[in-house]
Structure 1
Amino acid sequence: MSLRSKLLASALILGVAGPSAVTAQERAYAVASPAELELEVGATFQLTAEIHGAAEEDAASNAASEVRWFAADDGVTVSDVGLVTAVRPGESRVAAMFRGQPSWVTIRVPRLEAARIEARVGGPVYVGATTALELAAYTELGSAVEDIEFVYASADPGIAAIDEAGRVLGHGPGQTRLTISAGDAEVQVEVTVEPNPAEDYELVAAGDGSLSTGDVAALQVIGRDGQGREIGFQPLWSVTPGGAEVHPVDGRGLFVAEEPGTYSVTAIVGPAITRTMPVRVEPRRHTAHLEIVGSGIATAHRAGDTWVFEGVDERDYAYIGTFFHDWMKVWDVTDPTQPVLTDSIQLDARRINDVKIHPNNRLGIVTREGASSRRNGIVFLDLSTPAHPTILSEYTDTVTGGVHNVWILGDEDLVYVCHNGTSEIVIMDIADPANPREINRWVHDEPVRSLHDVIVQDGYAYASFWNEGIYILDAGAGTHGGTARDPKLVSRWVSGQGNTHVAWRHGKYLFVAAEIYPSDWDANAFGPIEARGYVEVLDMTDIENPVKVAHYTVPEAGAHNLWSDDRDRLYVGYYQAGLRVLDISGELRGDLYRQGREIGAIKTSSPEAAVPNWSMTWGAQLFKGRIYTSDLHSGLWIARLVQEELVP
């Protein structure tokens, strides 16, 4: 669910009237028109809202001025007077809010066609051999176009032809031009076909040949000429039976299996040149399992984000925000089997989404959304007595529109603030936390912005901008002229599925979680939430060109926040699918869930929860050998990974 959707839901909650005498005018309601609409990207349309049920005509006229317009997601924008603009393809909703009640308009935006095609030949083209043609298509907004049908043509098929799969086949020495088109977009590629020097071909595999499901094996066809010199090829790969796949990368075939068994992998160098290899795959085995250590069931307020730390009194604490409530909870977790609620801090907010603690463990920061004063911002906590924190200061001046998440850079005494109002990263100097000050801002220049989260790891900031994707900034790494105080753009990656919620860097991979709430979710209904979502895995070897290589999707559940450890484990709060732990060791390719890379999973559900026996696990943080998380419906949970004894 997008940030705008959540804020809209909050508006619905705040707009519900308390018990009082109901007059005829108060029974008035708005009807937005039209109920359904189709707009092309960039097109605008004036929506209207008619007031019904008012006692008098002039009352209806006055009531119309109370209508407020909200876009429920980022596919469209809407002005204060109901002028809607289509931004991205898909189905979106706009609400005319009147006295706490919405009237909805559904807007369908047709998919954009390709405006630009990028193409290059993957390697040398030899007579009698095939080579991959690497293709990508983009809309005029720069988003990748998925499932596109290309049309191919060769100026001289006697030199080189191209098949429907985009494979280039050399027929004779020489040079020709290939044309690739999709709709009105077109690109041309010059191709030179060389004589084939290879006299022998061999299919080889790296490693010792011992594979489990989820392990990646690199296969390669090596050609040799008459003098034994090696020649590389770009073969077409196939594997039988089903249950495994081969990903072509730079001439190699990266084999990975989801199911154990024996597979036959074939490399097709050309119509008359094939090589085959058997590959044996064993089941993936794990030697640990998850178990619950303790919990702090709290159902009066829905739980938000959690941060765990050792206080200056040498005791351990978990601070937890609240979802559509105005409390931050303080738990003493020194004994993780028996958490003790020591305090609750009430703030002027309708949501305390994020809680972060400075590495010095003396300063806390909590975020505010939905303040009655409409001056949200962040609140600084004095942790001199961590069991009973006190408010040190507040900062609202330049972030009044609400703050969803923050990230503290302890060494720099800075905090990166995700400002809802402008979707800018507001950079603040907190060396004097009693008097914090803004020193800079960063924002991208796309027409729509919806900043949800930012983390900073090893000098790079990873900003999650929902449908605008991940923006990667040099925030002190120094590779692209950036500093923590003045970050610079390195690159951007946009998911074809949108809903980019949060990112987490581990080794050469960036794990990007997408969060999808049901479009008919009602914040007033305190019941089960059928969230959806997934985790996409990007190879960051070339940080200027991130490449998606794998994904982790638990069926019919929703991904949320992430964490990892130094033993190559990823911890995911997967909403109704509970807390999940994933083996992310080695090379990652394909569907990590189906490959059996899950080490363990537990549901953070309780019959005593606000929604009984329904998990909504928020995230995970590792602390002193324990895994801490919150559950939207039931509060604090503490787990651990238990190592199992190996049976000879």
Structure 2
Amino acid sequence: MFLRSPLLASALALATAGTPAAYAQERVQVVVSPTELELEVGGSIQLTAEIHGAEGEDLRAEVQWFAPGDGVTVSDDGLVTAVRPGESRVAAMFRGQPSWVTVRVPQLRAARIEAGVAGPVYVGATAPLQVAAYTELGDRVENAEFRHATSEPATATVDAIGRVLGHQPGRTTLTISAGDAEAQVEVTVEPNPAEDYELVASGDLSSLSTGDVAALQVIGRDGQGGDIGFQPLWSVTPGGAAVHPVDGRGLFVAEQPGTYSVTAIVGPAITRTVAVRVEPRRHTARLEIVGSGITTTHRAGDTWVFEGVDGRDYAYIGTFYHDWMKVWDVTDPTQPVLTDSVQLDARRINDVKIHPNNRLGIVTREGASSRRNGIVFLDLSTPAHPTILSEYTDTVTGGVHNVWILGDEDLVYACHNGTSELVILDIADPANPREINRWVHDEPVRSLHDVIVQDGYAYASFWNQGIYILDAGAGTHGGTARDPKLVSRWVSGQGNTHVAWRHGKYLFVAAEIYPSDWDPNAFGPIEARGYVEVLDMTDMDDPVKVAHYTVPEAGAHNLWSDDRDRLYVGYYQAGLRVLDISGELRGDLYRQGREIGAIKTSSPEAAVPNWSMTWGAQLFKGRIYTSDLHSGLWIAHLVQEELVP
């Protein structure tokens, strides 16, 4: 978890860990100029750092430069180069304290356009243009303003929203432009064979709930009874619902209960309308807190829960800017008992994972005073009091933010802070782990934050470079767990891709956004932001965003799901949230009322009183376990209730 980059988090921790106590008492600070600037992509500027408060000493050699995210890069001496459009920040670090510079990089113009027409164009009917504009870097231009022209207006025309209307049989060339980019599409207008039209639906349109998806389609029939497909324009009234066009179908979904009128417009004189009745979405469970282990002196990190070899249940929790891992006995989830604290040379123990054999634990380490970070292996022979079995630092000394254990393969996938590479370790002999491979994409800037492996696919979260999907044993693209191969990539238009979780045909991708003025060394409320985007993975080579889940004025973090189609989200200051993800997913899941329950994981006795920063969730023996950055361990469960008519 961090502002924009695990790399900067590690750097901050290193700087702080190595700072003598006397430095903290000095009134010496670094001042950078300029503090705000604008650069074109590819442009550079030299930043200068002055040390204020020093008595005749030149301390500039102690300044370290960092650029979180991938919008800009910065050299060791402060030369900033713009890489991608957007707003980025550069930090000059001096004795554990950052001084920030804001860098704005304007959006590039469209350099190329990809265009086509969805389906045939018939006389008297319309079909949509499919158009996208891209910059010279390959980034999609959001909200591009397209212009349309046709070589034969008597044959077909294009309206302002990009729909092609056929007027008479024949051929015409459509020209689509945006900025200096241009593309042409050849269109053939065919005679319309339909003599009748029918609007058909999947399911009963009188018994939907908010969030339910109903598929609508217009079928044309010719004189012999054959079916003809159309690509109509859909509209719905009143507000509170939407129809998403997909492959000729209209996928209706409502956020508010009520009666809606849905119209399919095939052409200027061809329309069909249907009524849809929607009831409020109802849930049969509520979320309750079972127990907690409140921390008062430090902040908590990741949690993993398991049954130990002694038959008792344990929750191991890392710490944030502290040097121990906490061991809780949660056999009685209503009364967690702290049994041990394992101290490590670290300023941050972000991630905790347990091997499926429950005999081996792994914790990630960042900010070691020796500057040799990596991961630590724990012997769980006595799970209430784990001991250090070994360490691995050789090729991941820059720190590891997150790991994933592939138990059947005795492998660990580790996210290396220093190089942002996915390092693959063989842990068949955990006393002597060894690197066997590594994977990384070839983009010029990268920031690997997290990885999960589910059903033979690895999902690597590369922050603003998006999700990289790897064949890690599924065998569909020639990959194995030891030698993964790229399947596809998906990039969020909003960036900050933090973690992913696969459930059924969907991939849930969480983005994390910390406030730009957040001070990692200060305890206090944090106004995080974030969201969860939902990708349809039916075609692994072409992920498609279909829905999103955003709690207003809060920040998303880690995810989990169960076999009852529920998604569990640590939503920082909005607490632990449970979401109904059953059936087809489309649109705004929060506004559709798909939330089953929510609780705040806050306490007046916490390190930061009465302010939730819920980290994530893990299901274990019917309970939901989570840690809170400010308050430690929390245990909850869903209580089933009767559905009252």
- More displaced, 105-114 or 325-334? 105-114
State yes or no: 1:41 paired with 2:41.
yes
Aligned length: 641
Displacement of 1:366 in angstroms is: 0.3
Structure 2 CA distance for aligned equivalents of residues 601 and 554 of structure 1: 11
Name the counterpart of 1:7. 10
Structure 2 CA distance for aligned equivalents of residues 461 and 616 of structure 1: 27
Query: Which one of 166, 172, 183 corresponds to residue 168 of structure 2?
Result: 172
The code of the aligned residue for 2:308 comes to: G
Name the counterpart of 1:183. 179
Displacement of 1:645 in angstroms is: 1.8
Name the counterpart of 2:521. 524
Structure 1 residues 244 and 346, CA, compared in 2 at 3 Å: closer, same or farther? same
The code of the aligned residue for 2:511 comes to: A
The code of the aligned residue for 1:603 comes to: K
SS in structure 1 opposite 2:366? Answer: coil
Structure 2 CA distance for aligned equivalents of residues 65 and 93 of structure 1: 21
Displacement of 1:242 in angstroms is: 0.2
Name the counterpart of 1:244. 241
Superimposed CA distance per residue, residues 47-103 of structure 1 (whole angstroms, 9 cap, x where no aligned partner): 1223344433xx32xx22222212243321111111111122222221222333333
Using structure 1 for the length normalisation, give the TM-score: 0.97
Name the counterpart of 1:508. 505
SS in structure 1 opposite 2:643? Answer: coil
Contact 1:454 1:463 in 2 (8 A): yes
Runs of 4+ in 1 over 6 A off after TM superposition: none
Superimposed CA distance per residue, residues 474-529 of structure 1 (whole angstroms, 9 cap, x where no aligned partner): 00000000000000000000000000000000000000000000000011221100
Query: Unaligned regions of 5+ residues in structure 1, if any?
Result: none
Displacement of 1:42 in angstroms is: 1.8
Using structure 2 for the length normalisation, give the TM-score: 0.97
State yes or no: 1:283 paired with 2:280.
yes
Structure 2 CA distance for aligned equivalents of residues 13 and 304 of structure 1: 18
Query: Which one of 335, 359, 365 corresponds to residue 368 of structure 1?
Result: 365
Name the counterpart of 2:390. 393
Displacement of 1:133 in angstroms is: 1.0
Structure 1 CA distance for aligned equivalents of residues 337 and 27 of structure 2: 47
Contact 1:8 1:72 in 2 (8 A): no
Name the counterpart of 2:480. 483
Contact 2:12 2:96 in 1 (8 A): no
Name the counterpart of 1:311. 308
Structure 1 CA distance for aligned equivalents of residues 574 and 532 of structure 2: 13
Query: Which one of 107, 113, 119 corresponds to residue 111 of structure 1?
Result: 107
Listed as ranges, the matches of 1:65-144 within 5 Å are 65-144=61-140
The code of the aligned residue for 1:523 comes to: P
Superimposed CA distance per residue, residues 623-646 of structure 1 (whole angstroms, 9 cap, x where no aligned partner): 000000000011000000000023
Query: Which one of 125, 132, 141 corresponds to residue 145 of structure 1?
Result: 141
Structure 2 CA distance for aligned equivalents of residues 202 and 396 of structure 1: 66
Name the counterpart of 1:473. 470
Structure 2 CA distance for aligned equivalents of residues 207 and 419 of structure 1: 49
State yes or no: 1:205 paired with 2:201.
yes
Structure 1 residues 34 and 418, CA, compared in 2 at 3 Å: closer, same or farther? same
The code of the aligned residue for 1:222 comes to: I
Name the counterpart of 1:18. 21
Superimposed CA distance per residue, residues 123-143 of structure 1 (whole angstroms, 9 cap, x where no aligned partner): 110000000111222222222
SS in structure 2 opposite 1:482? Answer: coil
Structure 1 residues 85 and 240, CA, compared in 2 at 3 Å: closer, same or farther? same
Name the counterpart of 1:606. 603
Contact 1:9 1:522 in 2 (8 A): no
Structure 1 CA distance for aligned equivalents of residues 529 and 589 of structure 2: 17
Structure 2 CA distance for aligned equivalents of residues 480 and 382 of structure 1: 36
Query: Unaligned regions of 5+ residues in structure 2, if any?
Result: none
The code of the aligned residue for 2:457 comes to: Y
Structure 1 CA distance for aligned equivalents of residues 339 and 27 of structure 2: 45
**Percent pairwise identity:** 86
SS in structure 2 opposite 1:411? Answer: helix
Name the counterpart of 1:408. 405
Structure 1 CA distance for aligned equivalents of residues 452 and 549 of structure 2: 21
Superimposed CA distance per residue, residues 402-435 of structure 1 (whole angstroms, 9 cap, x where no aligned partner): 0000000000000000000000000000000000
Contact 2:69 2:463 in 1 (8 A): no
The code of the aligned residue for 1:6 comes to: A
Structure 2 CA distance for aligned equivalents of residues 479 and 43 of structure 1: 41
SS in structure 2 opposite 1:65? Answer: helix
Displacement of 1:541 in angstroms is: 0.5
Structure 2 CA distance for aligned equivalents of residues 133 and 561 of structure 1: 38
The code of the aligned residue for 2:224 comes to: Q
